[in-house]
């Protein structure tokens, strides 16, 4: 990986509560994600995955350690600066989808572009292409309430993917999807990263994690392991008929 570093977690710890009942959700977690990189995070329930992602997205603050997005230390930002950062560069996909009910699917997806100053026509075209990529081209004019859970989830993903070069943070983004649609979402994420975005995706699904360049394993609030994947596709044709 040679691109610029988009996200740095530097010895990030987060604990909840005090005294003997303190929960250490994260313990000195360090992670660097470069442009073009797609990272999956796996680990048992309660291992700190969501906490790590909310801290990376500036939605929660670490007890100790530093978080940098595009070289900017998130802890030093005011509330409005943080909001601007999230709008412009960060695509955060929540476990609940946070779609605006009064806007159609396409309007929801193009919103971050419009807030960022992209002309409506151009924003709309890009929103439609992104909806198409997650298999929802035919639902562009529907309102969130008229969409199934899985469709709403894909709209939320399209919204996170629509900004070029975004840093996408997604917590179980394929939770409500069947395997074919889950794969379509991972393909879109893969392609967005190939075009220069970066993504950190929490998933318990190994087939989806296999789309990432790297899998980071969390356990009891620590990074305990990660995959080591060489950039060549090794020869799969060695085993022969069994």
Tokens of 44: 């048992």
Q: Which does 209 bind (CB under 5 to 8 A by kind): ligand ADP, Mg ion, another protein, none?
A: another protein
d(CA 194, CA 183): 16
Which stretches of the chain bind another protein, using CB under 8 A?
A: 42, 44, 187, 190, 205-207, 209-212, 215, 217, 219, 224-229, 233-234, 236-237, 239-242
- Pick one of 3, 4, 11, 16: the residue that binds ligand ADP (CB under 6 A): 16
Return the number of other C-beta atoms located less than 10 Å from residue 18's C-beta.
7
Up-side HSE of residue 48: CA atoms within 13 Å toward CB?
25
Tokens of 234: 């090794």
Identity of the residue, 31 or 212, whose beta carbon is nearer to another protein in the bound complex: 212
Residues 115/128, Cβ–Cβ less than 8 Å = no
Identity of the residue, 42 or 93, whose beta carbon is nearer to another protein in the bound complex: 42
Q: Could you tell me the smallest distance in angstroms from the CB atom of residue 232 to another protein?
A: 10
> Is residue 25 involved in binding ligand ADP (CB under 6 A)?
yes
- Pick one of 29, 39, 47, 107: the residue that binds ligand ADP (CB under 6 A): 47
Q: Could you tell me the smallest distance in angstroms from the CB atom of residue 216 to ligand ADP?
A: 12
Tokens of 165: 């070069």
Strand partners, 8: 32, 68
B/e letters for 94-113, b = 16+ CB within 10 Å, e = fewer, are bbebebeeeebbbbbbbbbb
Of 42-50, 87-95, 160-168, 226-234, which segment contacts ligand ADP by CB under 6 A?
A: 42-50
Strand partners, 16: 23
The residue number whose beta carbon is nearest to Mg ion equals 50
- Pick one of 47, 50, 130, 181: the residue that binds Mg ion (CB under 5 A): 50
Q: Which does 211 bind (CB under 5 to 8 A by kind): Mg ion, ligand ADP, another protein, none?
A: another protein
> Is residue 203 involved in binding Mg ion (CB under 5 A)?
no
Up-side HSE of residue 233: CA atoms within 13 Å toward CB?
2
H or E segment and range at residue 84: helix 79-88
Residues that bind ligand ADP (CB under 6 A): 16, 23, 25, 43, 45-51
Residues that bind Mg ion (CB under 5 A): 50
């Amino acid at each position: 990986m040679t691109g610029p570093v988009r996200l740095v977690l530097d010895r990030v710890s987060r604990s909840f509560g005090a005294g003997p009942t303190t929960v250490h959700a994260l313990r000195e977690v360090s992670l660097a994600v470069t442009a073009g990189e797609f990272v999956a995070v796996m680990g048992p329930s309660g291992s700190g995955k969501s906490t790590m992602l909310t801290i990376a997205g500036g939605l929660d603050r670490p007890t100790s350690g530093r978080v940098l997005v595009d070289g900017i230390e998130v802890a030093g930002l005011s509330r409005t600066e943080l909001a601007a950062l999230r709008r412009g560069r960060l695509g955060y996909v929540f476990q609940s989808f946070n779609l605006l009910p009064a806007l159609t699917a396409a309007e929801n997806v193009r919103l971050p572009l419009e807030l960022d100053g992209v002309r409506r026509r151009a924003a709309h075209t890009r929103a439609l292409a992104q909806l198409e990529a997650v298999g929802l081209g035919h639902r562009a004019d529907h309102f969130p309430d008229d969409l199934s859970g899985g469709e709403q989830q894909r709209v939320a993903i399209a919204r996170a993917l629509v900004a070029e070069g975004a840093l996408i943070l997604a917590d179980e983004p394929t939770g409500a999807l069947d395997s074919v649609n889950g794969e379509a979402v991972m393909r879109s994420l893969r392609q967005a990263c190939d075009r220069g975005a970066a993504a950190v995706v929490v998933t318990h699904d190994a087939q989806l994690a296999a789309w990432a360049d790297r899998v980071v394993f969390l356990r009891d609030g620590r990074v305990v392991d990660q995959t080591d994947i060489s950039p060549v596709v090794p020869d799969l044709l060695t085993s022969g008929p069994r």
